[in-house]
């Protein structure tokens, strides 16, 4: 008994250890080759074919035609503009809201955990169920949002601004101009996760820095710009990268709330990709679209990482 185990301890043969390692990691290896690397290669090749995904005999090699088609496709342009519009507004607004809430929670207030819970909750529970609820909030006639707006307009009208009397609130999801802003409002509602990451960063800023600034007679604004912002810049960096990656993949909201409408006003990139892949069964074209998205997301991520050397401050560097 002891002899056997001692032998194992002394000389677990190298090949046996290798085998054990690969065996333990084998679920991931299967997944990596069958569901990541293999499909990546296949998807890359798909981007150069024309196929409806049914009969292998129908596969036609078309070279770079899919990419050329995407470059000329007005719907792709529309989807890219929509997605960029959504992303470049929802991410900064979400980050600003998250930072503002985190700073509010970072004040020494009683019952802070109650407020933190409320602000954080939407980002956890948000999904199809809350999307359905927001559809009803955005309803132009019977929704809460416009009820509030009409109330405010009524007060302004009473004060004497006559323009407010005839003012009509937006039709939100039903309007071409307001559909994307509606989705942005909803996305800011779900900013709680970024808020918690900011809050953790704020709580890690050493008090001594603020105390030193106080001695130098620094004001609130100056302390915020010269101490808080550099100190939390790693959190800002992380939230920015995750926000950009996430917002470029926006799908479910538009699929459920507007189906890309009205008049393609919310036709987002992934929604278009989904339509091409699973409604039109254009395997090749949709694969090319997926790779274009990959390259766009990669480019933005690398751009942020590159620029981070100039604005992200890491303690101890």
Partner 1 sequence: METRSGAYYRVRRNAWRLSLYALAFGLSFAFLFPVVWAFGASFKPLIEVYRFPPTFFTWPPRWQNYPEALSKLPFAAFIWNTFVITISSTVGQILSASLVGYAFARLNWKGREFWFLCLLATMMLPGQVLLIPHYLIFKNLGWVNTYKPLIVPSWLGGGAFFIFLFRQFFKGIPQELSDAAKIDGASELRIYAYIFLPLAKPIVITVGIMSFIGHWKQFMGPLIYLSDYETYPVALGLRMYQQVEGGSFIHYLMAASVVALFPLLILFFLSQRYITKGLLLTGSKG
How far apart CA 228 and CA 206 sit, in angstroms, is 10
Nearest alpha carbon to residue 283 among 48, 63, 37, 76:
48
Report the site for partner 1 in 23-42 (rule: CB under 8 A): 23-25, 27-32, 34-36, 38-40, 42
Report the site for partner 1 in 79-108 (rule: CB under 8 A): 101, 104, 107
The residue range among 71-79, 129-137, 205-213, 220-228 that interacts with partner 1, by the rule CB under 8 A, is 129-137
Query: Which tokens in the block code for residue 191?
Result: 């900013």
**Interface residue with partner 1, options 43, 48, 67, 169 (CB under 8 A):** 43
Instruction: Say what the alpha-carbon torsion angle 92, 122, 78, 291 is, to the nearest 10 degrees.
Output: 90
Report the site for partner 1 in 103-122 (rule: CB under 8 A): 104, 107, 109, 114-115, 117-122
Burial 96-114 (b: 16+ CB within 10 A, else e): ebbbebbbebbeeeeeeee
CB 245 within 8 A of CB 223: no
List Cα–Cα distances, 150 to 67, 137, 140, 309, in angstroms. Answer: 48, 14, 11, 47
**Interface residue with partner 1, options 71, 81, 96, 124 (CB under 8 A):** 124
Does residue 20 interact with partner 1 by CB under 8 A? yes
Question: Which C-beta is closer to partner 1: that of 266 or that of 287?
Answer: 287
The residue range among 18-26, 86-94, 168-176, 209-217 that interacts with partner 1, by the rule CB under 8 A, is 18-26
Report the site for partner 1 in 273-302 (rule: CB under 8 A): 273-274, 277-278, 283, 286-287, 290-291, 293-294, 297-298, 301
What DSSP state is assigned to residue 27?
H
**Interface residue with partner 1, options 68, 96, 133, 299 (CB under 8 A):** 133
**Interface residue with partner 1, options 7, 21, 71, 313 (CB under 8 A):** 21
Does residue 219 interact with partner 1 by CB under 8 A? no
50 three-class SS:
strand
Q: How far is CA 161 from the centre of its chain?
A: 40
Report the site for partner 1 in 172-191 (rule: CB under 8 A): 189
């Amino acid at each position: 008994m002891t002899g056997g185990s001692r032998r194992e301890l002394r000389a677990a043969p190298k090949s046996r250890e290798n085998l054990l390692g690969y065996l333990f990691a084998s679920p991931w290896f299967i997944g990596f080759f069958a569901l990541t690397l293999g499909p990546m290669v296949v998807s890359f090749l798909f981007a150069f074919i024309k196929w409806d995904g049914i009969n292998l005999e129908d596969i036609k090699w078309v070279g770079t035609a899919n990419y050329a088609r995407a470059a000329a496709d007005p719907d792709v342009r529309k989807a890219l503009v929509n997605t960029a519009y959504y992303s470049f507004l929802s991410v900064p607004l979400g980050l600003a809201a998250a930072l503002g809430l985190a700073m509010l929670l970072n004040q020494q207030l009683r019952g802070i955990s109650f407020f933190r819970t409320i602000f954080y909750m939407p980002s956890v529970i948000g999904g199809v169920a809350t999307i359905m609820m927001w559809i009803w909030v955005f309803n132009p006639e019977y929704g809460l949002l416009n009820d509030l707006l009409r109330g405010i307009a009524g007060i302004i009208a009473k004060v004497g601004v006559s323009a407010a009397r005839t003012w009509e609130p937006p039709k939100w999801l039903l309007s071409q101009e307001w559909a994307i802003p509606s989705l942005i409002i909803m996305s800011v509602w779900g900013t709680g996760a970024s808020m918690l990451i900011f809050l953790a960063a704020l709580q890690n800023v050493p008090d001594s820095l603020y105390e030193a600034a106080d001695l130098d007679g620094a004001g609130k604004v100056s302390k915020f710009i010269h101490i808080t912002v550099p100190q939390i810049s790693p959190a800002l960096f992380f939230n920015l990268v995750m926000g950009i990656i996430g917002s470029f993949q926006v799908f479910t909201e538009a699929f459920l709330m507007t189906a890309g409408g009205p008049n393609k006003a919310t036709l987002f990139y992934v929604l278009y990709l989904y339509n091409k892949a699973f409604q039109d069964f254009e395997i090749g074209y949709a694969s090319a679209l997926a790779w274009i998205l990959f390259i766009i997301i990669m480019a933005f991520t690398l751009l942020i990482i590159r620029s981070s050397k100039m604005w992200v401050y890491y303690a101890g560097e």
